[in-house]
Structure 1
């Protein structure tokens, strides 16, 4: 099944905010729509952020701007040890491309009204993106 992501709708009930994603289906069998199902496995591609540094990508802290550090306060810092390992270990958090990855999650509760689905989670991706869903 293929959905189209339409965006977020928010409303207030008893001073509590509720966020609902409004999703419209594009390719859906009428046989499947007649059944009530509780769990959906939805996968989508997140927004691409481009090349990002370690402060934006991994939430590293910046260095102090004072005491002579004028140009390199947003840099990574030291990445390795001394001569003993002599290399940088695999999995080190480094700068690089951020986003544009496939994200899969499960949705338990949703409401259907005509051709629109209301889902109580925040779905990654931009508006009018395609979402791929499987019934579980």
Structure 2
């Protein structure tokens, strides 16, 4: 996909979640954290051992994140291109709830299914691999 088309759709159909990503990006840049680029997306490395989160064309990952993690978060960017304003309800909220439930269960010692067992996470991984 062309970078101009990627950002045109992100900043029109997918504007809602990108505004939040831009706000977080500005705060991080004001604190001295520099943005990086992963294909068409802009990302920041912040904190340790927490994974990542996507806000459209912007994503945020732990320091020294693997290419697989960055690719997965980039995949969520493509979900935003397809779902637009519905991304928040179809992917972001369910994914966030699931992340926190898994974190809680992990601390309690439960055996967890693979992360990509959840439909929107496996879809993000496939999209990220396809477009990376």
Which TM-score band (shorter chain)? under 0.3
More strand by share: 1
- Which has more radius of gyration? 1
More helix by share: 2
TM-score (norm 1): 0.20
